[in-house]
Structure 1
Amino acid sequence: MARDRLFGALGAESERNLADTLRSERAGGVLLLVGTVAALVWANAWPASYATVSDAELGPAALGLHLSVHAWASDGLLAIFFFVVGLELARELTVGELRHAATAVVPAVAAVGGMVVPALLYLAVNLTASGGEPRGWAVPTATDIAFAVSVLALVGRSLPDALRAFLLTLAVVDDLLAIVVIGVVYTDHVGLGWLGAGAVAVAAFAFLARRGVTTGFVLVPLGVLAWACVHASGVHATIAGVALGLVTPVTGPHAAAERWEHRWRPISAGFAVPVFALFAAGVTLSAAAFTEAFHDPVARGVALGLVVGKPLGILVATWLVARFTRARLAPTLTWADVGAVGLVGGIGFTVSLLVGELAFGEGSSHDEHVIVAVLVGSALAALLGGTALRWRDHRHAAAAGRRAGPTR
């Protein structure tokens, strides 16, 4: 009996999802890079101005929403990012690659491997070092979709679509796991009343959406209410964004997930995430800063987890699926392809910065060291992964030319 193939051909719906995501995330990756560079320039050239704007507080105090600009960026704008993630998850679970256990198991197991190994490496560094802080174990476990897809788009034009889809699906599952970690591990207290109110708002959102109510004048305020209630509960408010995305109907007469994803993804990739980067990546870069980060086991654990742990976890987990199930690699792929994708998976920028804030808190002794480690680790992962993907891209282009035969 024939064995199942890892990274086999995609269905028509999955092909369309892949094309849509690639188009938007490429531009999003560029804007994310612009936001990061702007943050570093601003924070280093005019540090007082950067701190003043970042710490300025806005919003209604009576509602408990008198927050700093930095907090609005991480709690508010990232809720838009996670709403789009929720929409993407809803589509993948309903009509995409994740709807079949046979295709979902590979990226799911790879994502788990890409979480467990970096966490273990981080803990190995921190539990054996004086001054180590185990609370940051989840910082190096995330993959940044926008940056990873941008690298893939720049250097991997001849790679099989199934391999691209594997990276995207892995990153989506990775985000889902990060959401679970944020909601469970980095929530110190939960106001059940407020959380229940948020759940009611999400349920009302789902009810109206499934009845065909799509006007923003009704659903946007309801979504904001859900966000505010979850924020007041003590659970990170981005969880509300994911929940709203997941309950959006994907199929049927009132299907809205694909349409809303097209509408909100440019806002997420073009505004929300770059602005978050602007107020999350502002760290002083100096010889002293790098030296202090190098001597901090937290920073060493984060960098090691991203650059080594991520690709190792993804590669080993995928190999285990091939070794102990009926699945095998598609004939056009090699384990070098999987390893190259795993290297790109070490780009952990957006969610890693968010988890770092939640783990240590703004202004802690480890805060800036984590930012430096995420920046350096993600940049190194992008360089190594981009080089490896470029090499594999040349190999696949050459193989395609050989299969096509001589031209006249």
Structure 2
Amino acid sequence: MTAVPPRRPAFLGLLPWRERRAVAEALRTETVGGLVLLVAAAVALVWANSPWSGAYEALRDAHFGIPALGLDLSVGHWISDGLLTVFFLVAGIELKRELVVGELRSPATAALPVIAAVCGMAVPAAFYAFTASAGGGSLDGWAVPMATDIAFALAVLAVISTHLPAALRAFLLTLAVVDDLGAILIIAVFFTADLNLAALGGAFAGLVLFYVLQRLRVRGWWWYVPLGLAIWALMYHGGVHATVAGVAMGLILRTTRDKGEDASPGARTSHLLHPFSAGVAVPLFALCAAGVGISGAALAEVFTGPEPLGVVVGLVLGKIVGVFAGTYLAARFTRARLNPDLAWADVFGLSVLAGIGFTVALLIGELAFPGAEVAERVKAAVLLSSLTATAVAAVLLRRRNSVYRRLYEAETIDADADGIPDIYQRTPATSGTSNVN
């Protein structure tokens, strides 16, 4: 009797029902936040290039805080180091969820999106390094084109009304989650000031206490909020970018439910903070960071200066090559096969969309070129690259929208009105477990 070879898992196939619900909830908030982000970026650009640009700069550079604690910061600084920590806290929770119960929990399912994301970070950095060094520019901005902005990308999808099936959106979300992890590691390792070991030791002790409280199942915001603020302040004074405190706490929060719990601490925290992160923290950061001059001379410098040109090449071309080549090679040399309802053109469209690097790219640009004139040109390059990737991706994805609409409608039919799409009640799970779980 001939042995039947094991079935090859479908890449970009039907997600398990529980995973799809979690992804849908995350993406719904990100999409709304992304639309607010687009508006905030547009306001910043118009304001910074209007006769009232002086008021914009005065507001962004105004200082307030607690000088006795060494926290007398500008408005822009409070937002990038303070409010953006909430964004990284939510990113840390999402990463933990993916590692524990999501797409990254098993090496077999994680291999393909992780390889695609790593290639999507390494290739843009290499493109930047080659372009900038060839023009005699600084290599300090090598990390700028590495990150994908999931909120911006989803806002683009909402604007162009593309009915991407859940698996494509989940793949984009997973890419962004791994991108965020890479960006956090890069910020922590390469963009640190002079280290204050005593403050870092205090921050580490605070994280240990945070972990112990989680292990002991201690509940109550009055424990965690003061402790979190203390960890953030100590991390800031330790010389490591304060947003690292956010992702560290997010990774510590428990994402599995105990018996009798309606939701895990991570899920409750994410549910509470995700709307604030996507709808307030990130748009305010965009309002402060996206206000750059877009005169003809400034735009010309984007294509003549080696550093901004390296960012454009890295985001527009490097992301496409990295994500697409990484995905293809991973699928070619693993057991995964592409969903037969889709084509490699769909992966290519997502690769172009991954070139939208806004929030984290702007943040790393500020860290790589602090106070330098080139920082403004790098910001302009990030904005221009993101707009270019948006336009190209919109054309590519709209051409396939009839396919996406058919798959999306098949995924959402619920003829018996029981709250579970019919496809999950007749299709075996792609992950080997029950879809309705």
TM-score by length of 1: 0.94
Deviates more, 1:185-194 or 1:139-148: 185-194
1:214–1:387 distance in 2 versus 1, CA, 3 Å: farther
The SS at the match of 1:99 is coil
8 Å contact from structure 1 (residues 357, 367) kept in 2: yes
CA deviation profile, 1:165-201 (whole Å, cap 9, x unmatched): 1000111011001111111111243222211211111
Q: Distance in 2 between matches of 1:212 and 1:324?
A: 43
Counterpart in 2 of 1:391?
Answer: 399
Cα distance between partner residues in 2 of 1:352 and 1:137 = 11
CA distance in 2, matches of 1:211, 1:267: 28
RMSD: 1.8
Shift of 1:12: 2.4
Q: What does 1:73-222 correspond to in 2, within 5 Å?
A: 73-130=79-136, 132-155=137-160, 157-222=162-227
2:386 maps to 1:381: no
Q: Counterparts in 2 of 1:169-318, with a 5 A limit?
A: 169-253=174-258, 255-318=264-327
Q: What are the superposed Cα offsets for residues 348-380 of structure 1, whole Å, 9 maximum, x if unpaired? A: 00000000001011x302111011101000011
Give CA deviations for 1:228-270 in whole Å, capped at 9, x if unaligned.
Answer: 1111111000000001111001114262111111100011011
Indicate the SS of the match to 1:9: coil
Instruction: Write the distance in 2 (CA, Å) between the matches of 1:178 and 1:400.
Output: 32
Q: What letter corresponds to residue 303 of structure 2 in structure 1? A: F
Q: 1:352 maps to which residue?
A: 361
Letter in 1 for 2:130: A
What per-residue deviation string (whole Å, max 9, x for no partner) do you get for residues 51-73 of structure 1? 21111111111211111111111
1:399–1:175 distance in 2 versus 1, CA, 3 Å = closer
Q: Is the 8 A contact 1:348 1:374 kept in 2?
A: yes
Moved more, 277-286 or 345-354: 277-286
Q: Is contact 2:162–2:397 with CA below 8 Å preserved after alignment?
A: no
Query: Among the aligned pairs, what percent are the same residue?
Result: 49
Indicate conservation of the 8 Å contact 1:118/1:305, yes or no.
yes
Note the C-alpha offset of 1:291: 1.9
1:10, distance to aligned residue in structure 2 (A): 1.3
> C-alpha displacement at 1:327, in angstroms?
1.7
| Secondary structure in structure 1 of the residue aligned to 2:372 | coil
Instruction: Return the offset for 1:152.
Output: 2.7
Which shifted more, 210-219 or 31-40?
210-219
**Which one is further off, 189-198 or 177-186?**
189-198
1:41 is matched with which residue?
46
CA apart distance, 1:399: 7.4
What's the secondary structure of 1:263's corresponding residue?
A: helix
TM-aligned CA distance change 1:399 to 1:93, over 3 Å:
closer
What code does the residue aligned with 1:76 have? G
Residues in 2 aligned to 1:10 and 1:337: alpha-carbon distance in whole angstroms: 17
More helix per residue: 1 or 2? 1
Q: Secondary structure at the match of 1:66?
A: strand
Q: Distance in 2 between matches of 1:402 and 1:282?
A: 43
Residue type of the alignment partner of 1:199: F
Q: Does 1:366 align with 2:370?
A: no
Contact between 1:84 and 1:268, CA under 8 Å: does it hold in 2?
yes
Kindly indicate whether the alpha-carbon contact (under 8 Å) linking 2:44 and 2:288 is maintained by their aligned counterparts in 1: yes
Matching residue's letter, 1:284: G
2-structure distance, mates of 1:153, 1:103: 27
Instruction: Show CA shifts across 1:77-108 (max 9, x none).
Output: 11000000011111111111111111111111
Pair 1:7 & 2:4 matched: no
Q: 1:360 to 1:15 in 2, by over 3 A?
A: same
Q: Distance in 1 between matches of 2:213 and 2:147?
A: 33
Q: Do 1:159 and 1:392's aligned partners in 2 also have CA atoms closer than 8 Å?
A: no
Counterparts of 1:11 and 1:158 in 2: how far apart (Å)?
A: 19
| Displacement after TM superposition at 1:312 (Å) | 1.2
* TM-score, normalised via structure 2 length: 0.88
- Of 64, 72, 75 in structure 1, the residue corresponding to residue 70 of structure 2 is 64
Cα deviation for residue 400 of structure 1 reads: 8.1
Aligned equivalent of 1:52: 58
Conserved 8 A contact 1:156-1:389: no
Contact 2:289 2:362 in 1 (8 A): yes
Q: Which residue of the partner structure matches residue 406 of structure 1? A: none
Whole-angstrom CA distance in 2 between matches of 1:338 and 1:240: 34
Q: Where does structure 1 lack aligned partners over 5 or more consecutive residues? A: 404-408
The AA in structure 2 aligned to 1:144 is D
1:159 and 1:136 map into 2 onto residues whose CA distance is 33
Check conservation: 1:13, 1:96, Cα contact below 8 A: no
Count of residues in correspondence between the two structures: 401
Tell me how far 1:305 sits from its aligned partner: 0.9
